[in-house]
Each structure stands twice: as structure tokens, then as C-alpha cells.
Amino acid sequence: MRHLLPITAMVLTLIVLVPAARAQVNGFPVCSDNSNQTGPEMVADGAGGVIITWVDARNGANQTKIYAQRLNAAGTPQWAFNGVAVSVLLGNDASPCIVSDGAGGAIIAWQHNTPGGIISAQRLNSTGALQWPTAGPKNGVQLTISGSGSTPVIASDGANGAIVVWRDARGALGTYDIYAARATSAGLVPWTSGGVAVCNATNDQILPVTVSDAAGGAIVAWFDQRTGFDIYTERLNGSGALQWGTGTGVLMGTSTSVADAPSITGDGAGGAIVAWETDTVNHDIIARRVNAVGVPQWGGGTLVCTAANPQLHPQIVSDGAFGALITWQDGRTNPNWDVYVQRVDAAGAAQWAPNGVALTNNYAESPVITGGASGGALVTWVDTRDTPTTQHNLYARAVTASGTPGFPADGTPVCTAVDDQIAPRIAYSGSNAFLTWQDRRSGGWDIYAFMMSVTTAVGDTPAPFTLSLGPNHPNPFLERTAMNLDLAVRRDVKIDVFDVAGHRVRHDDLGHMNAGRREITFDGRDDRGAALPSGVYFYRVHAGNETLTKKMVIAR
């Protein structure tokens, strides 16, 4: 054990967030062009990485465009430096939304403001190449026939295409309605020209959200002012036909005031679960399920939180078991804002502590959530604990399926760089969670990202295997490289290194190792201590009865 040294080890008794393979302090830049990049959105790429999109002003303040970048499973950018241009026409573009195309790429929709309010979409393949038209009036595919659309949201159609939903002002007296269109994998728009009217009731319908119905269509929820301030839903099939109403939707909840957009997730059975703020004095959080045939469930809805003072900005994600995980910004300890989370099952019953589980009580706001393994979740939020009222940083914390928050208390710092970090987004991809945000440490706004893994030894979230071996980093390397080794149980560990011809050049017996994560370093030398020549090598880890092998490259 002369050259391979375990330099860190931790016995994990709660969910712990640790930086993933890429070396990072306060994240790493996705785009740091000498201009403003804002409004990031992100989706998993299906190969352990993510695709990020944003609004970019590198062409001038009045020529904002949509750009995108792909990060692989190691966090390395795969496309052009500082991203590829998704939109190309003159004029301002805004409000991008993104969904996986199911083939390693993504479909991005946005609002084009010249001549005004046109909703367009573009598909990028796994190499970042644009797949739909890039010249002429379409700029991808145009989903509206007039300049009246705004705030698009997107869901997969299950066939490598997408369904896009937006707020539309083409109605009488300039009121807003909800419209939708489908773009196929080939860039065709098969539904009614200009989009299908999801709801064109009187007064305004705004703030749409959408999720796939897992049957080729989508379910849409929105904030509706036809009689007050209500929440409605509707389902469209793959042909664009309304399934639950005739342009009116299904009423989910009535109120006299709702301050925020609804949030939606699939229920795993063809329906959806929607969360929103109620109209109580304190703005509490409510959730309700609508089944696949459009019948609202859970009585009048589940009161997720009725604690003192306001609860705001609910965000929801499936728990993978026909229920949902919901996070929100909580004012019960006024004047500080906290972040809480709750899980509801398929029957709408709260599963954790009444009024939710606290993740932090340190000036936190604007949480976002992604579902984890075995019914748990990972939440990130904007936090001002380090310099209250003057600097916004980012923190994150995990929670198990049984409602046990991870360590450390009050969350793991994701980014505490100077100035502001805002608008976080989060997604699981493979074994890692990726976070992206809008960052002003350089004086202008840039797009940054961070990778973290979630490791646990809590009984109700068992590891699916006892041995996990990460890729070495850096790779290729000159003199030294490192790799993460995770053990779910105590094991005897041995490591061998082979050259490309299959000759063993290094053997180390690391002895008994306890459960947990440690980083193993390799100095690029053989058993005699001589430097190995440049070339391809394989490192093989034996732990008990399990063996894993990965490739590394020495470049001297």
C-alpha cells in the first residue's frame, strides 16, 4: 500500500451531500461570456449528464438569444465554448423552457418578441447540432400564428417530440387564454395551426404549467380569473383533443386570492398532482390530485401546511410511488424565511411531520426540488445567511423517504461566492445531482453549475449495491489522479492496475475498509516505484465478491 492511499473516509449515518467527481469550489462556469446570461433551465440528458439553456445578451441588449450547453456525467462541457446558439433571428428572445428529446438531446421552446410574442421551438441532438430549420421566419418551428404568446412551458410527448403550452393574448379585449401545440421529433406541427385552445373562458387564464400524461399527451394546470382566483386543469391527448372539457377545464380549487403559479407533477397513473397557495390570510399550501379521466381527488384538497404566517412558492415532484414531494418558502419564524418539505401519498395523506420537515431556518427563499431514490428528495434554495440582505448564495439539503433530513443541519453550501447567486435549478442525472444558477461574482450575470452526489446508510433507502467506483480525475493525467470509492458495507479492498496488454503493473491491498466514501489517489507508478509510460491502463477494484474495472490514461 505504498502508493495508493485512502485520503478521506466517512461513515455515513444520514444523507450526505458531497461534491461529485469534478473538482469544484463554488461551482464551475457553464457560460461566462462578457455579457449577461440569465434565466437558466436544465434537463437530464439520459446519459448521466444534463443540458442547460439560458437567455444570452452577447449579441447586444436588444438582441438577446437562447443558448445551450451540455455537461457530461463528469461535468465537462460537450458543446461549443460558452454554449451553442439555439435561436438566430433578429430581435429579443426570452423565457426558454427545456425537455429531453429521449435521444440524448433536448427540445427548447421560447418566446420571440420580434415582431412580438411568437412561440418557437428547436431540437438539438446529443452533439449540439440544431435539427429543425435555422433560417427564415420559423427559426426552428413556429408554434403561434401571431405575436400574442408568452411564458411557454414544455412536456415530452413520449415520442422524441414535445408539447408546448403558453399564455396567449389573441382573445377578446386582450385577455389571456391558454394554448398548446405539439412539435414532433421531425419538427412538424400536427395540431391546429397556431395551437389548440386549452382554455378560452372569460377573463384571464395565466401562469400555465404542464406535465406529460405518459400516453402521448399532456396535462396542464393554470391560474384562472373567470370567477375569482382559481386553479384549473385540462388534459390533451397526442392528437391535441381536449379530454376533460370543451375549453373550460376542470376546477381544482376556488379562492379569492392566489399569489403564485401552481406547480404540477404526474401521479404515475395518467393523472397529475397540483400544488398551489390557498387564499387564507397566511397563504397556506394545498395539493390535489386529478385522475386520468379528469376527476379531482382528495376531497377539496390536502392542506400540506397551515402553519403561522405565509407559506409561498410551492414546488412539487413525484415521489415515484403515486404520491408527491412538495417544498415551499415558509414564514412561520418571521422575520426569517425557512424552507420546508412534505410528502403526500397516493391518497393525499401527509407522510411526515405535521406542517412539514424543516430543511433550514436561515433567511432562505425560492426553493426548487428534485426527486431522489426510494422516495427521497433533494432541495436547493437561495440563502442570505452569510451576508443578510446584501448577498444571495445557494444551499442544498437532502431528505429521505421517511422524512429524515440529511447532514449537515441547515444545508450544504453549494455556492458562497461574492455577490449574488439566484434562480437555481436542480436535476438528478445518473448517480449525481446537477445544480445550475445565475451568478454575478464577475460583475455581470453568468451561468454556473455544480455537481453533487447523495450517499446514505439510512435503513429505508438501501444502496442497490455494496461497491461503487467513480471515474478517475483528471483523466488523462501526468503524475497523479484520484477516484472515489463507495462501500455500502465493510469490505476487504484490493486494487490492481493493468496495462493495455493485460499485464498487471500494480497491486495494492488496502485491507479492511468501513462503509462510506473515500478518495483513492494513484501516482502513476508500478510496483517497483518506476513511473509508468504514457498509455491506456485499467484499474480494477475488488471488494468482497464484487469487482469493478475502469479505464484511465497516462499522458506524459
Q: Which residue has the cell 509508468?
A: 532
Query: Residue type for 345, please?
Result: D
Nearest to 220 by CA among 124, 320, 290: 290
The per-residue pLDDT for 170 is 87
The per-residue pLDDT for 267 is 93
Interatomic CA distance for residues 69 and 82, integer angstroms:
7
Contact assessment for residue 163 and residue 121, using Cβ atoms and an 8 Å cutoff: no
The per-residue pLDDT for 350 is 95
The per-residue pLDDT for 511 is 87
Interatomic CA distance for residues 232 and 243, integer angstroms:
14
Interatomic CA distance for residues 91 and 256, integer angstroms:
39
The per-residue pLDDT for 116 is 66
Distance of CA 116 to the CA centre of its chain: 29
The per-residue pLDDT for 459 is 34
Interatomic CA distance for residues 86 and 76, integer angstroms:
20
End-to-end CA distance of the chain: 24
The rounded radius of gyration (Å) of the Cα atoms in the chain is 25
Interatomic CA distance for residues 62 and 517, integer angstroms:
49
Q: Is residue 374 helix, strand or coil?
A: helix
Interatomic CA distance for residues 346 and 290, integer angstroms:
11
Contact assessment for residue 297 and residue 252, using Cβ atoms and an 8 Å cutoff: no
CA distance to 401, 476, 500, 505, per residue, from 535 (Å): 45, 9, 8, 13
Q: Is residue 534 helix, strand or coil?
A: coil
For the domain covering 466-554, report its CATH number.
Answer: 2.60.40.1930
Give the pTM.
0.80
Contact assessment for residue 522 and residue 480, using Cβ atoms and an 8 Å cutoff: yes
pLDDT averaged over consecutive 10-residue blocks of the chain (556 residues)? 35 59 81 95 95 95 92 94 91 94 96 83 96 73 89 96 95 87 96 95 94 96 91 97 92 74 93 89 90 95 93 94 95 90 96 95 91 82 79 92 88 91 94 94 95 62 54 88 82 85 86 82 92 89 76 88
Interatomic CA distance for residues 282 and 297, integer angstroms:
24
The per-residue pLDDT for 3 is 42
